[in-house]
Amino acid sequence: MGTRDIWFLHISTFLFFLGMAVVNPILSPFVIDMGATPFLVGVMAAIASILSLIFKPFGGFLGDRGLKFHMMALGSLLGAVAGILYIASALSGSLWVFALGRAVHGFGMALFFPSSLSTAIDLAPKGEVGATLGWRGMMFSLGNLVGPGIGGYAAQFFGFNAVFLLTVALSSMGIVFVFAAYRRTEIRVDNWGTERHGKANYRHLLMPFFIAASLALFFMSFTYGSLMTFLPAFYAKLGFGTGIFGLYASVMGGASLITRVLGGKEADRHGPLPVVTSGLLLVFFSYAVLDGYIRPPMAYVSAILLGAGFGLAVPALQLMALARLPKRIRTVGSGVYTMFFDLGYLSGPIVLGYVAQLRGYSAVFPLLPFILLVSLLMAQLPRFLKGHEELSRG
């Protein structure tokens, strides 16, 4: 497996998520222009995430049948189809067509994401699984970092359909890179052909290292989803412009990009648990700083710590959860593991939204460090169980 082949995979990941990210900043303005109520705006924003959450295990199940690259290619194709449906919605003025496009995009993500993650592990050079996951995570983060800016400016100068055409073009380009990697690595990832004898044992998903990493991810994303929902709302209540939170998100994203590969490499050297612990501690301190200094410019210190913590923790958690799973169930494991991120990201704003309704947005932020401590504790479970040294080194 050469470096070029890995980068074919990384670029396909970047293009797929860039194709989704360019739509994110214009989703609400687009559906509002089409007459959507506030409730419908929320529904349109959630459809893709809900479909992705539901179908990720299904996408992983198919990937484990020797169809990893097929799932990535089909997921990218569905991204292009979603872009076409968005254009059709704009031309016809139909919110139903747009909703269908969001559902197709979410289903495409459910197919693409688990196979993309497990294939990166399958094809990583020996001793460099964490580093490979770090580079992959960087591509994912880069797409989500630059995508909103590209989409926002494209819509401002060229209209909504220009953004939807970008989604079609980027997703279609992603298919090319998926097939380029498939042509060179087909045999090496066809684990269904090499392990066809014997049934897949899904009880491995109950192993302590997998459960610990998944629960840690859930509580981490619970806090992250809440922050991304309520911090911009709090700033709006204070009368700040949208650029204040935009800069916060950009600083956080930039810090995450810097530390992603470092987190993966350190997890390769020292095992995932120490790196996960260091990353989550940084996230904890970021929330503590934010609670004390929530107004800019000091709030941006929190953004730096938060991004750096995520950059360290995410690839190390992936290594902890997935590297030790048998290959024949690793893609299902990837789907189940990433479901915990979706569940946390969706449930955090709902649960803490009730707190915000009762006591105001400012009541949310003091709770984040304590919830993050639960994530930190969940990650430590393998330390207290038999064989924890081996598990901690992934």
pLDDT digit string (tens) for the chain, length 394 residues: 455 678 888 899 999 989 988 887 788 788 888 888 767 876 787 788 889 989 999 999 998 888 889 999 999 999 999 999 999 999 999 999 999 999 999 999 999 999 998 888 888 888 888 888 888 888 888 887 788 778 888 888 888 899 999 999 999 999 999 988 887 665 454 444 444 445 667 788 888 999 999 999 999 999 998 888 888 888 888 888 767 877 888 888 889 988 998 999 999 999 999 999 999 999 999 999 999 999 999 999 999 999 999 999 999 999 999 988 888 888 899 999 999 998 998 888 889 988 888 998 899 999 999 999 999 999 998 887 654 444 444 4
| Domain termination site, one of 195, 216, 241 | 195
Same domain, 155 and 256: no
Same domain, 209 and 184: no
- Gap between the Cα atoms of 174 and 45, Å rounded: 23
**Contact at 8 Å (CB) between 319 and 133?**
yes
Structural domain boundaries, residue 220: 204-394
Say what the pLDDT of residue 386 is.
53
Same domain, 191 and 212: no
Question: How many domains does one find in the chain?
Answer: 2
CATH code of the domain covering residue 319? 1.20.1250.20
Please, is 285 exposed, middle or buried when counting C-beta atoms within 10 Å of its C-beta (0-12, 13-18, 19+)?
middle
Same domain, 245 and 344: yes
Same domain, 155 and 212: no
Say what the pLDDT of residue 186 is.
56
Please, is 93 exposed, middle or buried when counting C-beta atoms within 10 Å of its C-beta (0-12, 13-18, 19+)?
exposed
Q: In whole angstroms, what separates CA 49 from the centre of its chain?
A: 11
| Domain termination site, one of 169, 195, 221 | 195
Say what the pLDDT of residue 387 is.
46
- Gap between the Cα atoms of 132 and 185, Å rounded: 16
Same domain, 208 and 191: no
Kindly give the interhelix angle for 95-123 and 68-92, rounded to the nearest 10 degrees.
Answer: 160
**Contact at 8 Å (CB) between 371 and 216?**
no
Same domain, 247 and 100: no
Closest residue by Cα to residue 214 from 340, 60, 374, 324: 340
Same domain, 254 and 303: yes
Kindly report the pTM of this predicted structure.
Answer: 0.83
Say what the pLDDT of residue 314 is.
93
Same domain, 275 and 390: yes
Same domain, 282 and 138: no
Same domain, 144 and 236: no
Say what the pLDDT of residue 242 is.
65
- Gap between the Cα atoms of 345 and 347, Å rounded: 6
Same domain, 176 and 211: no
| Domain termination site, one of 178, 195, 212 | 195
